[in-house]
Structure 1
Amino acid sequence: MPDSLHVSSQFDEDLARLRTHVLQMGGLVETQISSAIDAYSTGEVASVKSIIETDRKVNDLEKAIDDDCAHIIAKRQPTASDLRLVLGISKIVTDLERAGDEAKKIAKGVRRIYEAGHMPTQYGVGIRHLAEAALTMVRQALDAFARLDGKLALSVIRADEDVDVEFKSIIRQLITHMMEDPRTITTSIDIISISRAIERIGDHAKNISEQVVFVVEGRDIRHDKEAIK
Protein backbone atom coordinates (compact mmCIF):
# COMPACT_ATOMS: atom_id res chain seq x y z
CA MET A 1 0.00 0.00 0.00
CA PRO A 2 1.40 3.43 -0.94
CA ASP A 3 2.23 5.62 2.06
CA SER A 4 -0.39 8.22 1.10
CA LEU A 5 -3.14 5.59 1.06
CA HIS A 6 -1.93 4.17 4.36
CA VAL A 7 -2.03 7.62 5.98
CA SER A 8 -5.48 8.25 4.52
CA SER A 9 -6.75 4.91 5.81
CA GLN A 10 -5.37 5.60 9.29
CA PHE A 11 -6.98 9.04 9.27
CA ASP A 12 -10.37 7.55 8.35
CA GLU A 13 -10.00 5.08 11.21
CA ASP A 14 -9.15 7.92 13.62
CA LEU A 15 -12.28 9.84 12.58
CA ALA A 16 -14.49 6.73 12.78
CA ARG A 17 -13.19 5.96 16.27
CA LEU A 18 -13.80 9.56 17.31
CA ARG A 19 -17.41 9.41 16.11
CA THR A 20 -17.91 6.10 17.92
CA HIS A 21 -16.68 7.61 21.19
CA VAL A 22 -19.07 10.56 20.80
CA LEU A 23 -22.00 8.18 20.34
CA GLN A 24 -20.83 6.12 23.32
CA MET A 25 -20.79 9.29 25.42
CA GLY A 26 -24.22 10.21 24.05
CA GLY A 27 -25.58 6.83 25.06
CA LEU A 28 -24.40 7.35 28.64
CA VAL A 29 -26.03 10.79 28.77
CA GLU A 30 -29.28 9.36 27.38
CA THR A 31 -29.22 6.77 30.17
CA GLN A 32 -28.63 9.48 32.78
CA ILE A 33 -31.58 11.55 31.54
CA SER A 34 -33.91 8.56 31.23
CA SER A 35 -33.02 7.30 34.73
CA ALA A 36 -33.57 10.75 36.23
CA ILE A 37 -37.00 11.01 34.57
CA ASP A 38 -37.95 7.55 35.83
CA ALA A 39 -36.86 8.48 39.36
CA TYR A 40 -39.15 11.52 39.24
CA SER A 41 -42.14 9.33 38.40
CA THR A 42 -41.39 6.33 40.61
CA GLY A 43 -39.52 7.75 43.60
CA GLU A 44 -36.69 5.23 43.08
CA VAL A 45 -34.09 7.57 44.53
CA ALA A 46 -31.57 4.72 44.77
CA SER A 47 -30.84 5.37 41.09
CA VAL A 48 -29.45 8.83 41.95
CA LYS A 49 -26.11 7.29 42.97
CA SER A 50 -25.89 5.46 39.65
CA ILE A 51 -26.67 8.66 37.72
CA ILE A 52 -23.87 10.49 39.56
CA GLU A 53 -21.44 7.62 38.90
CA THR A 54 -22.35 7.69 35.20
CA ASP A 55 -21.58 11.42 35.21
CA ARG A 56 -17.97 10.63 36.08
CA LYS A 57 -17.74 8.33 33.06
CA VAL A 58 -19.22 11.06 30.86
CA ASN A 59 -16.64 13.55 32.15
CA ASP A 60 -13.81 11.10 31.46
CA LEU A 61 -15.05 10.54 27.91
CA GLU A 62 -15.28 14.28 27.30
CA LYS A 63 -11.63 14.69 28.29
CA ALA A 64 -10.53 11.73 26.15
CA ILE A 65 -12.44 12.97 23.09
CA ASP A 66 -11.06 16.49 23.51
CA ASP A 67 -7.54 15.02 23.64
CA ASP A 68 -8.24 12.96 20.51
CA CYS A 69 -9.53 16.04 18.66
CA ALA A 70 -6.39 18.00 19.55
CA HIS A 71 -4.20 15.08 18.52
CA ILE A 72 -5.93 14.69 15.15
CA ILE A 73 -5.69 18.40 14.38
CA ALA A 74 -2.00 18.49 15.30
CA LYS A 75 -1.00 15.25 13.58
CA ARG A 76 -3.37 15.05 10.58
CA GLN A 77 -3.98 18.74 9.87
CA PRO A 78 -7.46 18.02 8.47
CA THR A 79 -9.11 20.33 5.96
CA ALA A 80 -12.62 21.09 4.68
CA SER A 81 -15.30 18.63 5.84
CA ASP A 82 -12.87 16.60 7.99
CA LEU A 83 -11.84 19.72 9.88
CA ARG A 84 -15.50 20.70 10.35
CA LEU A 85 -16.19 17.23 11.77
CA VAL A 86 -13.41 17.48 14.34
CA LEU A 87 -14.33 21.04 15.32
CA GLY A 88 -18.02 20.10 15.49
CA ILE A 89 -17.27 17.11 17.71
CA SER A 90 -15.23 19.26 20.10
CA LYS A 91 -18.34 21.42 20.66
CA ILE A 92 -20.84 18.54 20.66
CA VAL A 93 -19.09 16.78 23.54
CA THR A 94 -19.24 19.97 25.62
CA ASP A 95 -23.02 20.07 25.21
CA LEU A 96 -23.32 16.35 25.96
CA GLU A 97 -21.33 16.79 29.17
CA ARG A 98 -23.53 19.71 30.21
CA ALA A 99 -26.70 17.74 29.43
CA GLY A 100 -25.35 15.03 31.74
CA ASP A 101 -24.83 17.66 34.44
CA GLU A 102 -28.47 18.71 34.07
CA ALA A 103 -29.58 15.08 34.47
CA LYS A 104 -27.59 14.96 37.70
CA LYS A 105 -29.38 18.13 38.90
CA ILE A 106 -32.74 16.49 38.13
CA ALA A 107 -31.77 13.39 40.10
CA LYS A 108 -30.63 15.37 43.13
CA GLY A 109 -33.82 17.46 43.04
CA VAL A 110 -35.93 14.31 42.92
CA ARG A 111 -34.04 12.90 45.91
CA ARG A 112 -34.66 16.06 47.94
CA ILE A 113 -38.38 15.97 47.19
CA TYR A 114 -38.93 12.30 48.07
CA GLU A 115 -36.69 12.40 51.14
CA ALA A 116 -38.84 15.28 52.42
CA GLY A 117 -41.84 12.95 52.10
CA HIS A 118 -43.48 14.67 49.13
CA MET A 119 -44.81 13.30 45.85
CA PRO A 120 -43.90 15.56 42.90
CA THR A 121 -46.26 13.71 40.58
CA GLN A 122 -49.21 15.03 42.62
CA TYR A 123 -48.53 18.49 41.23
CA GLY A 124 -49.70 17.38 37.80
CA VAL A 125 -47.65 19.94 35.90
CA GLY A 126 -46.54 17.81 32.95
CA ILE A 127 -42.90 17.30 33.94
CA ARG A 128 -42.87 13.81 32.47
CA HIS A 129 -44.14 15.03 29.09
CA LEU A 130 -41.60 17.87 29.03
CA ALA A 131 -38.80 15.46 29.91
CA GLU A 132 -39.79 12.94 27.25
CA ALA A 133 -39.80 15.73 24.65
CA ALA A 134 -36.30 16.85 25.69
CA LEU A 135 -35.03 13.25 25.74
CA THR A 136 -36.43 12.70 22.24
CA MET A 137 -34.51 15.80 21.11
CA VAL A 138 -31.29 14.35 22.52
CA ARG A 139 -31.87 10.98 20.84
CA GLN A 140 -32.67 12.58 17.50
CA ALA A 141 -29.70 14.94 17.74
CA LEU A 142 -27.40 11.95 18.29
CA ASP A 143 -29.09 10.09 15.44
CA ALA A 144 -28.57 13.13 13.20
CA PHE A 145 -24.89 13.12 14.16
CA ALA A 146 -24.52 9.37 13.58
CA ARG A 147 -26.04 9.64 10.09
CA LEU A 148 -24.80 13.19 9.41
CA ASP A 149 -28.41 14.07 8.62
CA GLY A 150 -28.83 17.84 8.31
CA LYS A 151 -32.60 17.67 7.82
CA LEU A 152 -33.15 15.70 11.03
CA ALA A 153 -30.86 18.14 12.85
CA LEU A 154 -33.00 21.06 11.68
CA SER A 155 -36.17 19.34 12.93
CA VAL A 156 -34.58 18.98 16.38
CA ILE A 157 -33.73 22.69 16.41
CA ARG A 158 -37.35 23.55 15.58
CA ALA A 159 -38.63 21.24 18.35
CA ASP A 160 -36.81 23.32 20.96
CA GLU A 161 -39.43 26.05 20.65
CA ASP A 162 -42.18 23.64 21.75
CA VAL A 163 -40.12 22.58 24.76
CA ASP A 164 -39.61 26.23 25.73
CA VAL A 165 -43.36 26.94 25.50
CA GLU A 166 -44.18 23.89 27.63
CA PHE A 167 -41.54 24.86 30.19
CA LYS A 168 -43.06 28.35 30.59
CA SER A 169 -46.50 26.81 31.08
CA ILE A 170 -45.19 24.58 33.87
CA ILE A 171 -43.58 27.54 35.62
CA ARG A 172 -46.87 29.46 35.52
CA GLN A 173 -48.70 26.49 37.08
CA LEU A 174 -46.14 26.13 39.85
CA ILE A 175 -46.29 29.82 40.67
CA THR A 176 -50.05 29.46 40.99
CA HIS A 177 -49.57 26.47 43.35
CA MET A 178 -47.27 28.52 45.57
CA MET A 179 -49.64 31.49 45.68
CA GLU A 180 -52.64 29.33 46.53
CA ASP A 181 -50.88 27.19 49.14
CA PRO A 182 -47.60 28.41 50.71
CA ARG A 183 -46.99 24.89 52.05
CA THR A 184 -46.11 23.85 48.49
CA ILE A 185 -43.35 26.43 48.09
CA THR A 186 -40.34 24.23 48.94
CA THR A 187 -41.40 21.37 46.67
CA SER A 188 -42.50 23.77 43.94
CA ILE A 189 -39.08 25.41 43.93
CA ASP A 190 -37.44 21.99 43.53
CA ILE A 191 -39.79 21.15 40.65
CA ILE A 192 -39.00 24.51 39.02
CA SER A 193 -35.29 23.62 39.24
CA ILE A 194 -36.01 20.22 37.69
CA SER A 195 -38.05 21.85 34.92
CA ARG A 196 -35.26 24.30 34.21
CA ALA A 197 -32.74 21.44 33.98
CA ILE A 198 -35.00 19.64 31.49
CA GLU A 199 -35.39 22.79 29.41
CA ARG A 200 -31.61 23.18 29.38
CA ILE A 201 -31.23 19.59 28.14
CA GLY A 202 -33.41 20.59 25.17
CA ASP A 203 -31.12 23.58 24.60
CA HIS A 204 -28.07 21.32 24.54
CA ALA A 205 -29.76 18.98 22.04
CA LYS A 206 -30.45 22.04 19.89
CA ASN A 207 -26.80 23.10 20.14
CA ILE A 208 -25.64 19.61 19.12
CA SER A 209 -27.96 19.74 16.11
CA GLU A 210 -26.59 23.13 15.09
CA GLN A 211 -23.13 21.59 15.04
CA VAL A 212 -24.40 18.70 12.89
CA VAL A 213 -25.65 21.24 10.33
CA PHE A 214 -22.25 22.93 10.46
CA VAL A 215 -20.46 19.61 9.88
CA VAL A 216 -22.75 18.53 7.03
CA GLU A 217 -23.35 21.82 5.25
CA GLY A 218 -20.60 24.13 6.44
CA ARG A 219 -23.22 26.63 7.67
CA ASP A 220 -23.12 28.24 11.09
CA ILE A 221 -26.82 28.66 11.87
CA ARG A 222 -26.46 29.62 15.53
CA HIS A 223 -28.60 32.69 16.27
CA ASP A 224 -30.00 32.59 12.71
CA LYS A 225 -33.74 32.02 12.95
CA GLU A 226 -34.23 32.33 9.20
CA ALA A 227 -31.93 29.36 8.58
CA ILE A 228 -34.17 26.89 10.43
CA LYS A 229 -37.50 27.76 8.83
Structure 2
Amino acid sequence: MDNAEYQREALNQSAFDMLTLCTSQLEKAIEAFVSHDSDLSEEVIHKENRVNAMDIKIEKDCEKFLALFNPVAIDLRFIMAILKINSDLERIADHAFNICNYVVEEENAISNKLFEAVDFKKMVETTKSMMDNITVAFVEEDVKIARKVFKKDKVLDKINIQSFNNLAAEIEKDPKIIREALFLFSVIKKLERVGDLIKNIAEEIIFYTDAEILKHKRKK
Protein backbone atom coordinates (compact mmCIF):
# COMPACT_ATOMS: atom_id res chain seq x y z
CA MET A 1 0.00 0.00 0.00
CA ASP A 2 1.53 3.31 -1.10
CA ASN A 3 1.30 6.46 1.00
CA ALA A 4 -1.61 7.96 -0.97
CA GLU A 5 -3.68 4.81 -0.56
CA TYR A 6 -2.82 4.66 3.14
CA GLN A 7 -3.87 8.29 3.67
CA ARG A 8 -7.09 7.70 1.76
CA GLU A 9 -7.94 4.70 3.96
CA ALA A 10 -7.19 6.79 7.04
CA LEU A 11 -9.52 9.52 5.79
CA ASN A 12 -12.24 6.99 5.08
CA GLN A 13 -11.94 5.64 8.63
CA SER A 14 -12.04 9.16 10.09
CA ALA A 15 -15.21 9.91 8.12
CA PHE A 16 -16.80 6.68 9.37
CA ASP A 17 -15.86 7.60 12.95
CA MET A 18 -17.45 11.02 12.45
CA LEU A 19 -20.59 9.38 11.05
CA THR A 20 -20.78 7.02 14.02
CA LEU A 21 -20.29 9.83 16.54
CA CYS A 22 -22.86 12.15 14.95
CA THR A 23 -25.38 9.32 14.68
CA SER A 24 -24.92 8.65 18.39
CA GLN A 25 -25.31 12.36 19.19
CA LEU A 26 -28.55 12.56 17.23
CA GLU A 27 -30.04 9.39 18.72
CA LYS A 28 -29.18 10.46 22.27
CA ALA A 29 -30.57 13.95 21.67
CA ILE A 30 -33.89 12.53 20.46
CA GLU A 31 -34.04 10.12 23.41
CA ALA A 32 -33.24 12.95 25.82
CA PHE A 33 -35.93 15.16 24.29
CA VAL A 34 -38.66 12.49 24.39
CA SER A 35 -37.84 11.42 27.96
CA HIS A 36 -36.81 14.92 29.09
CA ASP A 37 -33.52 13.52 30.37
CA SER A 38 -31.25 16.43 31.32
CA ASP A 39 -28.32 14.15 32.24
CA LEU A 40 -28.30 12.56 28.78
CA SER A 41 -28.62 16.03 27.27
CA GLU A 42 -25.55 17.18 29.19
CA GLU A 43 -23.64 14.20 27.78
CA VAL A 44 -24.49 15.25 24.22
CA ILE A 45 -23.62 18.88 24.94
CA HIS A 46 -20.28 17.85 26.45
CA LYS A 47 -19.39 15.72 23.38
CA GLU A 48 -19.99 18.61 21.00
CA ASN A 49 -16.35 19.66 21.45
CA ARG A 50 -15.26 16.22 20.25
CA VAL A 51 -17.45 16.58 17.16
CA ASN A 52 -15.93 19.97 16.38
CA ALA A 53 -12.40 18.64 16.83
CA MET A 54 -13.07 15.74 14.44
CA ASP A 55 -14.62 18.12 11.93
CA ILE A 56 -11.52 20.32 11.89
CA LYS A 57 -9.14 17.33 11.70
CA ILE A 58 -10.94 15.77 8.72
CA GLU A 59 -11.04 19.10 6.91
CA LYS A 60 -7.30 19.61 7.43
CA ASP A 61 -6.50 16.03 6.40
CA CYS A 62 -8.48 16.50 3.18
CA GLU A 63 -6.63 19.72 2.42
CA LYS A 64 -3.32 17.94 3.07
CA PHE A 65 -4.29 15.08 0.75
CA LEU A 66 -5.15 17.53 -2.03
CA ALA A 67 -1.83 19.36 -1.60
CA LEU A 68 0.37 16.26 -1.41
CA PHE A 69 -1.16 13.94 -3.99
CA ASN A 70 -2.99 16.18 -6.47
CA PRO A 71 -5.77 13.59 -6.88
CA VAL A 72 -7.81 13.15 -10.06
CA ALA A 73 -10.89 11.16 -11.13
CA ILE A 74 -12.25 8.88 -8.39
CA ASP A 75 -9.69 10.02 -5.81
CA LEU A 76 -10.69 13.64 -6.32
CA ARG A 77 -14.38 12.75 -6.08
CA PHE A 78 -13.63 10.86 -2.88
CA ILE A 79 -11.97 13.87 -1.24
CA MET A 80 -14.70 16.26 -2.39
CA ALA A 81 -17.37 13.88 -1.05
CA ILE A 82 -15.63 13.43 2.30
CA LEU A 83 -15.35 17.21 2.75
CA LYS A 84 -19.06 17.74 2.11
CA ILE A 85 -20.19 14.70 4.11
CA ASN A 86 -18.06 15.86 7.04
CA SER A 87 -19.65 19.32 6.91
CA ASP A 88 -23.18 17.88 6.79
CA LEU A 89 -22.46 15.54 9.70
CA GLU A 90 -21.17 18.43 11.79
CA ARG A 91 -24.40 20.30 11.11
CA ILE A 92 -26.45 17.25 12.13
CA ALA A 93 -24.53 17.19 15.40
CA ASP A 94 -25.26 20.91 15.83
CA HIS A 95 -28.99 20.18 15.63
CA ALA A 96 -28.55 17.43 18.25
CA PHE A 97 -26.69 19.91 20.46
CA ASN A 98 -29.45 22.51 20.11
CA ILE A 99 -32.19 19.98 20.87
CA CYS A 100 -30.38 19.08 24.09
CA ASN A 101 -30.10 22.73 25.06
CA TYR A 102 -33.90 22.89 24.97
CA VAL A 103 -34.12 19.97 27.37
CA VAL A 104 -31.66 21.52 29.81
CA GLU A 105 -33.29 24.96 29.71
CA GLU A 106 -36.94 23.85 29.77
CA GLU A 107 -38.38 22.56 33.05
CA ASN A 108 -41.45 20.77 31.69
CA ALA A 109 -41.50 17.66 29.50
CA ILE A 110 -43.54 17.48 26.30
CA SER A 111 -46.79 15.60 26.86
CA ASN A 112 -47.46 12.31 25.06
CA LYS A 113 -50.64 13.88 23.70
CA LEU A 114 -48.64 16.47 21.76
CA PHE A 115 -46.16 13.87 20.49
CA GLU A 116 -49.06 11.82 19.16
CA ALA A 117 -50.73 14.87 17.60
CA VAL A 118 -47.74 15.46 15.30
CA ASP A 119 -46.83 11.80 14.65
CA PHE A 120 -43.46 12.41 16.29
CA LYS A 121 -42.74 8.69 16.71
CA LYS A 122 -42.93 8.17 12.94
CA MET A 123 -40.63 11.15 12.39
CA VAL A 124 -38.07 9.72 14.79
CA GLU A 125 -38.24 6.23 13.27
CA THR A 126 -37.87 7.63 9.75
CA THR A 127 -34.88 9.79 10.73
CA LYS A 128 -33.11 6.85 12.38
CA SER A 129 -33.82 4.65 9.37
CA MET A 130 -32.29 7.27 7.07
CA MET A 131 -29.15 7.42 9.24
CA ASP A 132 -28.92 3.62 9.07
CA ASN A 133 -29.22 3.78 5.28
CA ILE A 134 -26.39 6.24 4.79
CA THR A 135 -24.17 4.32 7.21
CA VAL A 136 -24.59 1.10 5.22
CA ALA A 137 -24.29 3.00 1.92
CA PHE A 138 -21.07 4.68 3.06
CA VAL A 139 -19.42 1.49 4.32
CA GLU A 140 -20.46 -0.68 1.37
CA GLU A 141 -20.47 2.08 -1.28
CA ASP A 142 -24.00 0.94 -2.09
CA VAL A 143 -25.84 3.43 -4.29
CA LYS A 144 -29.17 1.58 -4.04
CA ILE A 145 -29.16 1.89 -0.26
CA ALA A 146 -28.20 5.56 -0.51
CA ARG A 147 -31.17 6.25 -2.79
CA LYS A 148 -33.61 4.90 -0.18
CA VAL A 149 -33.34 8.11 1.84
CA PHE A 150 -34.98 10.26 -0.83
CA LYS A 151 -38.48 8.84 -0.34
CA LYS A 152 -38.05 8.80 3.42
CA ASP A 153 -37.11 12.48 3.43
CA LYS A 154 -40.52 13.23 1.90
CA VAL A 155 -42.11 11.59 4.95
CA LEU A 156 -40.27 14.05 7.20
CA ASP A 157 -41.31 16.95 4.99
CA LYS A 158 -44.96 15.91 5.20
CA ILE A 159 -44.89 15.58 9.00
CA ASN A 160 -43.18 18.96 9.26
CA ILE A 161 -45.84 20.67 7.12
CA GLN A 162 -48.76 19.05 8.94
CA SER A 163 -47.34 19.70 12.40
CA PHE A 164 -48.09 23.43 12.34
CA ASN A 165 -51.84 22.95 11.88
CA ASN A 166 -51.93 20.01 14.28
CA LEU A 167 -50.22 21.98 17.03
CA ALA A 168 -52.36 25.04 16.37
CA ALA A 169 -55.44 22.89 16.89
CA GLU A 170 -54.08 21.61 20.20
CA ILE A 171 -53.29 25.15 21.36
CA GLU A 172 -56.86 26.25 20.58
CA LYS A 173 -58.10 23.48 22.88
CA ASP A 174 -55.67 24.45 25.66
CA PRO A 175 -53.78 27.78 25.34
CA LYS A 176 -51.65 26.88 28.36
CA ILE A 177 -49.61 24.44 26.24
CA ILE A 178 -48.38 27.11 23.81
CA ARG A 179 -44.81 27.14 25.15
CA GLU A 180 -44.64 23.35 25.12
CA ALA A 181 -46.03 23.27 21.57
CA LEU A 182 -43.51 25.84 20.34
CA PHE A 183 -40.60 23.81 21.69
CA LEU A 184 -41.91 20.70 19.97
CA PHE A 185 -42.44 22.55 16.70
CA SER A 186 -38.88 23.84 16.84
CA VAL A 187 -37.51 20.31 17.27
CA ILE A 188 -39.67 19.05 14.41
CA LYS A 189 -38.14 21.74 12.19
CA LYS A 190 -34.67 20.64 13.25
CA LEU A 191 -35.37 17.00 12.42
CA GLU A 192 -36.72 18.06 9.03
CA ARG A 193 -33.42 19.87 8.41
CA VAL A 194 -31.52 16.78 9.59
CA GLY A 195 -33.42 14.85 6.91
CA ASP A 196 -32.22 17.33 4.28
CA LEU A 197 -28.63 16.90 5.48
CA ILE A 198 -28.92 13.11 5.35
CA LYS A 199 -30.22 13.43 1.80
CA ASN A 200 -27.19 15.59 0.96
CA ILE A 201 -24.89 12.87 2.31
CA ALA A 202 -26.66 10.25 0.19
CA GLU A 203 -26.11 12.43 -2.87
CA GLU A 204 -22.40 12.70 -2.08
CA ILE A 205 -22.09 8.92 -1.72
CA ILE A 206 -23.74 8.52 -5.13
CA PHE A 207 -21.49 11.24 -6.60
CA TYR A 208 -18.34 9.56 -5.29
CA THR A 209 -19.38 6.03 -6.27
CA ASP A 210 -21.07 6.60 -9.64
CA ALA A 211 -19.82 10.07 -10.63
CA GLU A 212 -23.48 11.15 -10.80
CA ILE A 213 -24.38 14.67 -9.67
CA LEU A 214 -27.91 14.77 -8.24
CA LYS A 215 -28.03 18.12 -6.47
CA HIS A 216 -29.56 20.32 -9.18
CA LYS A 217 -31.15 17.43 -11.05
CA ARG A 218 -33.34 16.62 -8.03
CA LYS A 219 -34.36 20.26 -7.63
CA LYS A 220 -35.82 20.17 -11.14
Category of TM-score, reference length = shorter chain: over 0.9
- 1:22-69 deviation digits (Å, cap 9, x = unpaired): 110111111111111111222221111110122111111110000000
How far apart are the structure 2 equivalents of 1:99 and 1:139? 14
Matched, 1:121 2:103: no
Cα RMSD between the aligned structures? 1.7
Q: Which position in structure 2 is the counterpart of 1:105?
A: 98
- 1:66-124 deviation digits (Å, cap 9, x = unpaired): 000000000011110010000010000000000001111222223344x1x34333312
Query: Alignment partner for residue 216 of structure 1, among 209, 215, 219?
Result: 209
Q: Which position in structure 2 is the counterpart of 1:83?
A: 76
TM-score, normalised by the number of residues in structure 2: 0.93
Query: Alignment partner for residue 95 of structure 1, among 63, 67, 88?
Result: 88
How far apart are the structure 2 equivalents of 1:70 and 1:25? 17
Query: Alignment partner for residue 14 of structure 2, among 21, 46, 64?
Result: 21
Query: Alignment partner for residue 63 of structure 1, among 56, 62, 68?
Result: 56
CA offset at residue 226 of structure 1?
8.5
How far apart are the structure 2 equivalents of 1:136 and 1:175? 28
How far apart are the structure 2 equivalents of 1:89 and 1:22? 7
Q: Which position in structure 2 is the counterpart of 1:166?
A: 159
Identity %: 26
Alignment gaps of 5+ in structure 2 = none
Q: Which position in structure 1 is the counterpart of 2:197?
A: 204
How far apart are the structure 2 equivalents of 1:74 and 1:23? 22
Query: Alignment partner for residue 48 of structure 1, among 33, 41, 48?
Result: 41
CA offset at residue 196 of structure 1?
0.7
Q: Matched residue of 2:215: which SS? A: coil
> Does the 8 A contact of 1:41 with 1:128 survive in 2?
no
Alignment gaps of 5+ in structure 1 = 1-7
CA offset at residue 150 of structure 1?
1.2
How far apart are the structure 2 equivalents of 1:109 and 1:120? 15
TM-score, normalised by the number of residues in structure 1: 0.89
How far apart are the structure 2 equivalents of 1:214 and 1:53? 34
Change (3 A) 1:184 1:64: same
CA offset at residue 149 of structure 1?
1.2
Matched, 1:189 2:212: no
Q: Which position in structure 2 is the counterpart of 1:3?
A: none
How far apart are the structure 1 equivalents of 2:110 and 2:214? 41
**Runs of 4+ residues deviating >4 angstroms:** none
Q: Matched residue of 2:2: which SS? A: helix
